[in-house]
Amino acid sequence: MARSPQRQSSREEYDYTEEYGSHSDQQSLRLRRVPSRVSNQNPPQFDWSSPHEEEDEEGSSGPPRDLRATPLPMALKRAMRQIQQMRVPVVSSRESWKRKKAKSLRKLKESGRGFLSFFSLWSKTLQKIGGNFGGGVQSYFLFLRFLVVLNFVSFLLIAGFVLIPSIVFRSVGSKLINSTGPEACMEYDPNPQGLVVFYNYFLDLLSGTGFMEYSYLFYGYYNNTMVEDVNFSYNIPLAYLLTAVFYFIFCLICIIVRMGTAARVVVATGVSTVGNYSMIAFTSWDYGCLGDRATKLKQKNIHYGLQVDLEEESMKKRAATLTLLQKIVLYSLRVSMCVLSLGLIIAAFFGIFKATEFSQKNSLQGGILGLFFEYLPSIVITAGNFVVPLLCDQIALIERYAPSNTVIVALLRSVFLRLVSLGVLLFTLWGQITCDGAENTGDCKLCQYNHLIYQCWETRVGQEMYKLTLFDFLINIAVLILVEFPRRMVVDNWSNKLTQWVGRQEFVVSANVLGLVYGQTVVWTGALFCPLLPLINTLKFILLFYFKKITLFYNCRPALKTFRSTTSTFFFLVVLLFGWGLGTVVIIYSVAEIRPSMGCGPFSVFPSMWSIVPMSFQKLSITSQEFLFFIGSQSFSIPLFALSCVVMCYFVALASVYGKSVALLRAQLKLEGRDKQFLVKQIEMLSQSQHILN
Amino acid sequence: MGNKQTTFTDEQLEAFQDCTFFTRKEILRLHGRYRELAPHLVPLDYTNSPDIRVPPTLIVTMPELKENPFRDRIVETFSEDGLGNLSFNDFVDMFSAFCETSPRELKTIYAFKIYDFNRDSFICKEDLRRTLNKLTKGELTPEEVSLVCDKSIEEADLDGDHKLSFTDFENMVSKAPDFLSNFHIRI
């Protein structure tokens, strides 16, 4: 047997003594012996190598893999490897061929992985950030990198299917249907009249009007063309719509795949409870930590973490001893503070509503004042997003939640504020485009949308999103240059009590991530109306990466309250999913319900954007039509639905079974430990009584 | 491409690749790092497997280990004589256990060995106290340290013997989501 030579060789090389005196222990504890790496006295130790030797015997999982994962010194591993190699001829030729294939496949995979890592963006930078500032900050930059790649791939998609065919087929191709409709609705004149002052170009660049409006940037420039050749046809409106739909589905799949890996860790480890001292003691030190400053910081982190836990314990004890009166006071305080923060948020929404209305009414002003009015919604949203969380933080202090709960509550409030403020802006725009939903009254009667204010409403919505994106980016840069750099210079060069109390800027991960989610949500809502927005967003995020890196290394000190990096990744993706949901609602509503502008864009002749799909559908061959009808019909979808329910039930059952077996095994471990103690005591008693007898 | 090197025979490199998580290039790079620590001691030519050991005082000067509070314990755990003198085999072994592709079970085993200061294959209160002191470098008062030790053992101890055996440790670590990413030295 292959096992015995190693046992014997290990016995020869190392020696060990037992803690318990009698021989019978030796037999029962035999499996707990191990070749120790130290040649001095040791009590029986856990057998590190035996589980892996077991697998060796079966040989099914490929020996070299086990060899790398065995916790033995290198010399022993090489000896084992030689023994395995000598054993190979005994195995059948088919087995050895399979093993060789598995080995070469593994080598190929590893070299492939090495090749791909060459392409992975910014990996050295991310390592440096992780080493110096910890996992929480690194997860922010990883998230940013994910969004950059997502946006870039989306842009390639859009460019390939919409932009390039539009450019190529601009002159070729015929109109799909000739436009009919009231003359007033078909007016669309994006180009400015008369002499244009030079600085207008700059203003136009910032607000997407003027020379930028009638360009590939916005919906209004794309044409209702269809190219038909001998064996090739390309329907641009259909391509536009289907690309937008596919873009959303693609983003959803990417997010869910990324969530899957993060979720697996979260589910496996369960919800982390507060006060997990052992975890902090054993697993919190980051071995990859580099640099003197970083290690001192890590120590402060751990110290702070332990203190926080100790404090939470004492708070819990205090909370348990509150009298009824104090409890009533505390809960009523919490409720009133909650109402107050809700009131603040609603006030912010009202401000955005009013600002958007005002901006849309006064959008025809020229010059700097006009630019200010154009940007008014963005300004109000940004101001609200800045001021309201600050106030909510102060409110949360009064509420006296446990520290970890405070963070979660503040985060949820900020998410709610950011995403719903964007929703309010969109709602206001909708109200103005469709005359508050009553499409057959007032200004909307003629064209079913407000053609007086909006000759091409899709382009206007696209412009709003473009302005939001640009403004968000400019504000980030402005805060960096005007707030963070001066703050550091003041703190470093003036040392009095005030500056020490204010201190250097802290890199707050949660606020920054919410900024990213907000930016991505704006892109999602605007992608249908401004096809180049993903490209602009890619560039914006790339620049943001470098700017944030610079500010991190020069201006920031790492936060004392660190984020758990694995659970936080999952949380970021969940919030991103909310943003995706908002974008989906907008696109579904615009595609299905609002009448496209008659004066511009590829859908000018259709009653709704969606109606191009049934129209093109009828041009397909009969078999494809029947196949697609079948897929959409009840006789296919109901069995499919039933099947997916069954599969889901299977996985839920599997998960619960695993959970139960884990709990059972844990209980069994406890019992075995107690049994062992009991037996050891019995043995001691017996041996003592034997000694006494003797 | 790697045939020009004369540090190792191909057979040795194959053996290293099979026994660790490194590729050829990484092993050669590690040899360069190992040699940097003691250029007069470590030969360039390893084809006849010389038995050279670098003392721990030189190994802990590596930038990856310099600031680690457990550097002495790490080096002792991976050395064959238990005093910290690492041969090249041990050196490669050490970084292989800490690398990204190393599995959780292996890392757990070595983490347990590192934190077991008195090498009795249990983490008792004294081991934990020394761990905490190294972690917080004296920022906590002795009473706080004692309290944290008691609470940690209380949380993780399954069989009730007031010290942590390997199974207790493994069970506790399996619930820690950051363990794999933290127990990782980038080289």
Per-residue pLDDT tens digits for A57-111: 333 334 445 778 888 888 888 888 888 877 766 667 787 788 788 888 887 887 7
Task: Report CB contact under 8 Å: B171, A666.
Answer: yes
A46 and B168 in contact (C-beta within 8 Å)? no
Please tell me the distance from the alpha carbon of residue A69 to that of residue A64, in angstroms, as a whole number.
Answer: 9
- Chain B CB contacts of A283 under 8 Å are 173, 176, 178-179, 182-183
Find the largest Cα–Cα distance for chain B: 60
Six token digits for residue A655? 């998960």
Six token digits for residue A261? 């890996």
Task: Report CB contact under 8 Å: B131, A281.
Answer: yes
Beta-carbon count within 10 A of A68 CB = 19
CA dihedral A572, A263, A404, A503 (to 10 degrees): -40
Contacts 24+ apart (CB under 8 A), A104-109: A106/A65
Per-residue pLDDT tens digits for A269-300: 554 444 467 777 888 787 877 777 667 767 77
Between these two residues, A51 and A646, which has the higher pLDDT value? A646
Q: Is A204 exposed, middle or buried (0-12, 13-18, 19+ CB in 10 A)?
A: middle
DSSP assignment of B159-185 equals SSSSSB-HHHHHHHHHT-TTHHHHS--
Residue A221 reports pLDDT greater than 90? no
Between these two residues, A621 and A52, which has the higher pLDDT value? A621
Residue B173 reports pLDDT greater than 60? yes
Task: Report CB contact under 8 Å: A39, B82.
Answer: yes
A567 and A272 in contact (C-beta within 8 Å)? yes
Using only the alpha carbons of chain A, give its radius of gyration.
Answer: 33
Beta-carbon count within 10 A of B3 CB = 6
Task: Report CB contact under 8 Å: B90, A135.
Answer: no
A313 and A342 in contact (C-beta within 8 Å)? no
Task: Report CB contact under 8 Å: B119, A78.
Answer: no
Give the pLDDT confidence score for residue B112 in this predicted structure: 92
CA dihedral A202, A203, A209, A211 (to 10 degrees): -20
Per-residue pLDDT tens digits for A341-394: 888 888 888 888 888 888 877 777 777 787 788 788 888 888 888 888 778 777
Give the pLDDT confidence score for residue A90 in this predicted structure: 60
Q: Which of B8, B13, B19 to mutate to test the interface with A (most CBs of A within 10 A)?
A: B19
Listed residue (B168, B150, B126) closest to A275, CA to CA: B150
- Chain A CB contacts of B67 under 8 Å are 289-292, 294-295
Beta-carbon count within 10 A of A264 CB = 12
Task: Report CB contact under 8 Å: B67, A294.
Answer: yes
Average of per-residue pLDDT values in chain A: 77
Please tell me the distance from the alpha carbon of residue A206 to that of residue A371, in angstroms, as a whole number.
Answer: 8
Most confident residue range from A26-30, A112-116, A150-154, B130-134: A150-154
pLDDT band at A306 (very low <50, low <70, confident <90, very high): confident
Six token digits for residue A464? 């709003």
Q: Running DSSP on this structure, what letter comes out for residue A273?
A: P
Q: Which residue of B has its CA nearest to A309?
A: B148
Mapped onto helix, strand or coil, the DSSP state of residue A378 is: helix
- Chain A CB contacts of B98 under 8 Å are 287
Task: Report CB contact under 8 Å: A287, B18.
Answer: no
Q: Which of residues 122-161 of B touch A (CB under 8 A)?
A: 128, 131-132, 135-137, 139-140, 144, 147-148, 151-153, 155-156, 158-161
- Chain A CB contacts of B161 under 8 Å are 673, 677
* pTM, rounded to two decimals: 0.72
Per-residue pLDDT tens digits for A506-557: 777 878 888 899 999 999 999 989 899 999 999 999 999 999 998 888 887 7
Please tell me the distance from the alpha carbon of residue A624 to that of residue A632, in angstroms, as a whole number.
Answer: 12
Give the pLDDT confidence score for residue A50 in this predicted structure: 44
Give the pLDDT confidence score for residue B3 in this predicted structure: 54
Extended strands (E) in A208-358 = 225-228, 233-235
- Chain A CB contacts of B115 under 8 Å are 282
Put simply, whether B45 touches A (Cβ < 8 Å) is no
Give the pLDDT confidence score for residue A268 in this predicted structure: 58
Give the pLDDT confidence score for residue A54 in this predicted structure: 39
Distance from CA of B39 to the nearest CA of A (A): 23
Between these two residues, A222 and A194, which has the higher pLDDT value? A222
Six token digits for residue A413? 């409030």
Put simply, whether B85 touches A (Cβ < 8 Å) is no
ipTM of the complex: 0.82
Listed residue (A562, A575, A576) closest to A404, CA to CA: A562
Please tell me the distance from the alpha carbon of residue A268 to that of residue B51, in angstroms, as a whole number.
Answer: 44
Rounded mean pLDDT, A447-475? 85
Please tell me the distance from the alpha carbon of residue A256 to that of residue A432, in angstroms, as a whole number.
Answer: 35
Six token digits for residue B25? 């290039």
Please tell me the distance from the alpha carbon of residue B29 to that of residue A332, in angstroms, as a whole number.
Answer: 65
Per-residue pLDDT tens digits for B78-102: 988 888 888 888 899 999 999 888 8
Q: Report how many Cβ contacts below 8 Å link chain A to chain B.
A: 190
Give the pLDDT confidence score for residue A494 in this predicted structure: 78
Residue A42 reports pLDDT greater than 90? no
Continuous segment of H or E residues that includes residue A506: strand A505-506
Rounded mean pLDDT, A302-321? 73
pLDDT band at A35 (very low <50, low <70, confident <90, very high): very low
Tokens 């023994």: give the residue. Answer: A83
Please tell me the distance from the alpha carbon of residue A617 to that of residue A631, in angstroms, as a whole number.
Answer: 14
Please tell me the distance from the alpha carbon of residue A575 to that of residue A165, in angstroms, as a whole number.
Answer: 35
Please tell me the distance from the alpha carbon of residue A665 to that of residue A662, in angstroms, as a whole number.
Answer: 5
Most confident residue range from A7-16, B22-31, B164-173: B22-31
- Chain B CB contacts of A672 under 8 Å are 159
Distance from CA of B132 to the nearest CA of A (A): 6
Tokens 């933290």: give the residue. Answer: B182
B83 and B52 in contact (C-beta within 8 Å)? no
Per-residue pLDDT tens digits for A126-159: 877 776 676 678 888 989 999 999 999 999 999 9
Distance from CA of B28 to the nearest CA of A (A): 16
Altogether, the residues listed in chain B come to a count of 187
Six token digits for residue B121? 């294959």
